[in-house]
Structures are given as structure tokens and as C-alpha cells.
Amino acid sequence: MIPSIRMVVGTATLAALLTVVGTAPVLAAEQGQVAFNTHCRTCHSTKEGDNRLGPSLHKIYGSKAGASAGYSNYSQGLASSGITWDEANLNKFIENPDQVVASNNMKPYKGIGDEAVRKQIIEFLKSGSQN
């Protein structure tokens, strides 16, 4: 009887652990979505072709800055920057766009000082670029 109790307890513990571990990526994605919505959605979307005050950020990760099709309001500074949106460049730009490209059109956005929030947004943008 004892071995069967151990088996049941062990199985239940394993199932609970897998449930918690299995939901971690979902929670991270939700946190990224919330961070994006809180800080970026006023001007940007992640839907393809949904340009607003700023361009759609659909599949932005790995793309060239100032080159999103269908959006024509890029600053000359950003369009000619030569930046590729990798993790490091996104992190710096989201933190303080003026330090990356002085003549950008991100006004009045001042940036996000909280590195954890920037990371959530970057992970969210990366996840949309892998589809």
C-alpha cells in the first residue's frame, strides 16, 4: 500500500510541477503583452499593416529600422540609421530613443527606465517575429 501512495503523491506532484512550469511561458507572454499595451499601444500595433501614429511593429525583431512597408512617417534620422532591431538595439531604443537616434519621431515618449519591463516588451516583440 505504501508504494502505491508514493506513486500517487509522486504523480500528483509531478503533474502540479508540469502545470506550473508549462504555464511560465504563457505568463511571460501575457506580461509582455501587458507591458506593450501599457507603454507602446497608443502609437503602435503588432498587427501586420496596422500603422498608427507609429508603424506596425509586426515582425520588427531582426528587421531594419525605418523600413516597415506601408508606413511613410519615419524620421530621416531613423530611416538612415542602419540599425537592425536586435535585442541590444531594441533595449537601448526603448530605454531612451533620443540617445540612439537623436532626430526620431517618438515624441513625447521619453523611454522606459525599468530594464525588466523593457525585456518583457522585447520578448513580446520577438515572439511575434517568429511566426
Tens of pLDDT, residue by residue over 8-43, are 445 455 444 444 445 555 676 799 999 999 999 999
Report d(CA 40, CA 36) in Å as an integer: 5
Which domains, and CATH codes, for the chain? 2-129 (1.10.760.10)
SS3 at position 13: helix
**How much of the chain exceeds pLDDT 90, in percent?**
73
pTM, two decimals, is 0.77
